[in-house]
Amino acid sequence: MARYPALDGLRIKVLAGICHHGMRFFDSSYKITWVVAPGARPYLENKAPAVFALYHGRMVGMLRLVWPRDKTTILVSRSRDGEIVARALEQLGYSLGRGSPAHRPVEGAVQMVKAARAGQHLAVMVDGPRGPIYNVKPGVVRLAQLAGLPIVPFVCFARSQWWFWGWDRFMGPLWSTPMVYVVGEPIPVPAGLPDDGLEAVRAKLEQTMCALRQAADSYFDYVG
């Protein structure tokens, strides 16, 4: 519990506003090149819902991934920092599920499954909320199984960017910089899959996202 609730609430409100307006500022400027696996196209076109898997430090890519934004429910931690992100995302038009392994995980999963059954896309930061960076946690696989949806891996990269300090190395695209969005083939998670099968899916997702990250991060080196 915060020592000074009113002051802490003001801090969260101010930081959420900065986060919200900052994302809107950058969202209006950058141009995107899409590199999309054929199997992922129906999900980007809203023909069917999916679980979009992305890195915590590259969540800025969610701004343009699926439109309209109210078609996507994002899982956000109930931590203090998560509250800042949650308020900014709500102002941008996203729906939210609130929970993490350390903060009401069952409640968060129930909210996300309910959203999936209503036809929503789900979005999960696979290495959040505390990392290690780029390590896929098993929660995204279990959530996809519960929701009955495939996992669509996604990584973005900006030609010009700065990297914020922190475990996730949050990427901040510079004004008007081009970006590349790399979307991989959907990964199914069959119902009734045992624990070793779920681990195999988790490992496949981690390897796939690593390959997508390498492709995204080297894209502008090839195109000039």
Domain locations in the chain as residue ranges: 5-223
Q: Which of 174, 173, 175 is nearest to 156 (CA)?
A: 173
Q: Tell which wins on pLDDT, 170 or 80.
A: 170
Mean pLDDT of the chain: 87
Closest listed residue to residue 172, CA positions, set 161, 157, 160, 181 = 161
For the beta carbon of residue 92, count every other beta carbon within 10 angstroms.
17
CA angle at residue 39 from 37 to 43, to 5 degrees? 100
Question: What is the b/e burial string over 194-209, where b = at least 16 CB atoms within 10 angstroms of the residue's CB?
Answer: eeeebeebbeebbebb
Contact 124, 139 (CB under 8 A): yes
What does the chain come to in residues?
A: 224
Q: Which residue has the higher pLDDT, 108 or 114?
A: 114
Q: Where are the alpha helices (DSSP H) in the chain?
A: 5-27, 41-44, 62-65, 80-91, 105-117, 139-147, 195-223
pLDDT for residue 23: 62
Predicted local distance difference test score (pLDDT) of residue 203: 98
For residue 19, the number of C-alpha atoms closer than 13 Å in the C-beta half-sphere is 22
**Which of the four pLDDT bands, split at 50, 70 and 90, describes residue 1?**
very low
Residues 6+ apart with CB under 8 A from 190: 145, 197
- pLDDT, tens digit (0-9, with 9 covering 90-100), for 172-224: 888 889 999 999 999 999 999 999 999 999 999 999 999 999 999 999 998 86
- Helix%, strand%, coil% for the chain, nearest 5: 45, 20, 35
Determine the Cα–Cα distance for residues 8 and 11; give it in Å rounded to an integer. Answer: 5
Q: What pLDDT is stored for residue 212 in this prediction? A: 98
Mean pLDDT of 158-180: 91
**pLDDT given for residue 27 in this prediction:** 66
- Confidence label for 4 from pLDDT (cuts 50, 70 and 90): very low
Question: Sign of torsion, CA 12 132 63 70?
Answer: negative
